[in-house]
Amino acid sequence: MSDSTKGRSPDSDPSPFPSPTPTHDSLDAAWAEVEQELSRPTSSTAGQTTTTTPAPVDQASSTVRSFDASSPLIMVETAFLASAASLIWLVNFYFPIGPVLRIFFPIPIALIYMRWGHRAAWMGALVSGLLLSVLMGPPRSLLYIMPFGIMGVLLGMLWRRKAGWGLAIALGTILGSFGFFFRVWLVSLLLGDDLWLYTTTQVTNFIDWFCVKFGILFQPSLPLIQAIVAAGVVVNNLIYLFVVHLVAWFLFDRLRNPIPRPPRWVQVLMEYEE
């Protein structure tokens, strides 16, 4: 062994040129390339893997995001909005503060549909029902799914397909009215009594007493009272769906998932111009 190699340590670089030390800028550039590569979704078709470059953030719109169906972002956002819907129902059930929270019952599920499509929206409604079933029991979770969970899916579908306010409010009113009678039927089944007949009978007796008390010559029949109560349920759901549309109009615009524009008279009434 020569004298020139005796004093060299085993860990020393045999190259005559020193290795370049990585700078902070080069590390940032390398990490940016890694993040860009990780954020690029892949889809496998016919044994071949294709890559799709995601759209820039500033080009967000009301369409479904260009992510793979198994993207963690879809699962995380769906779970978050489903738990938010369950929490709103839970808080309103134990601490009711009027109709304020009730307006937001279908909003989270509709937002899931607007952002990720029908599959994520149905999964969100199902997760909300399962969570409420654990926290409050299956009967009360059914009272949320029908009608509010399904209503969120319906409104999200109509809003994403640019349906007008008239069609969306009409279909939502039909679903909400059906949900009211479903609730009456479910509660009657659990109590073992016809709650609808009992309620309308009590209203009829009250009207009879009122007419006799003040000398009014009017004796309503039970079918007439039932028809009036049913009409009141429809009107109540009509007003409710209109308010839900107003809330979604202001809220979804700020979340960059706008719903179809309201009629002209609504914009004039709210002093809002496009």
Where b means 16+ CB within 10 Å and e means fewer, 213-239 reads eeeeeeeeeeeebbeeeeeebeeebee
Residue 119 φ then ψ, to 5°: -65, -45
- Give pLDDT, residue 38: 53
β-pairing, 42-45 vs 48-51, is antiparallel
- Give pLDDT, residue 209: 87
Place of tokens 């509010």: 148
Say how far apart CA 147 and CA 163 lie, in whole Å.
20
Say how far apart CA 200 and CA 232 lie, in whole Å.
13
Residue 12 φ then ψ, to 5°: -75, 155
Instruction: Spell out the residues 6+ positions from residue 200 whose beta carbon is closer than 8 angstroms to its own.
Output: 222, 225, 226, 229
pLDDT by residue, tens only, the chain of 274 residues: 444 444 444 444 444 444 445 554 555 555 566 556 555 554 443 444 444 444 443 334 444 455 555 578 889 999 999 999 999 999 999 988 878 899 999 999 999 999 999 999 999 999 999 999 999 999 999 999 999 999 999 999 999 999 999 999 999 999 999 999 999 999 999 988 889 988 888 888 888 888 888 888 777 788 888 898 999 999 999 999 999 999 999 999 999 899 999 998 888 888 755 5
Instruction: Spell out the residues 6+ positions from residue 134 whose beta carbon is closer than 8 angstroms to its own.
Output: none
Say how far apart CA 122 and CA 82 lie, in whole Å.
10
Structure tokens at 89: 């129902």
- Give pLDDT, residue 187: 92
Say how far apart CA 253 and CA 250 lie, in whole Å.
6
- Considering only the C-alpha atoms of the chain, give the largest distance between any 2 of them, rounded to a whole number of Å: 129
Give the CA distances from residue 260 to residues 169, 244, 257, 274, in Å, rounded to whole numbers and listed in that order: 12, 13, 10, 12
SS3 49: strand
156 touches 111 (CB < 8 A): yes
Domain ranges of the chain: 72-264
Q: Which CATH number fits domain 72-264: 1.25.40, 1.10.8, 1.10.150, 1.10.1760?
A: 1.10.1760
SS3 145: helix
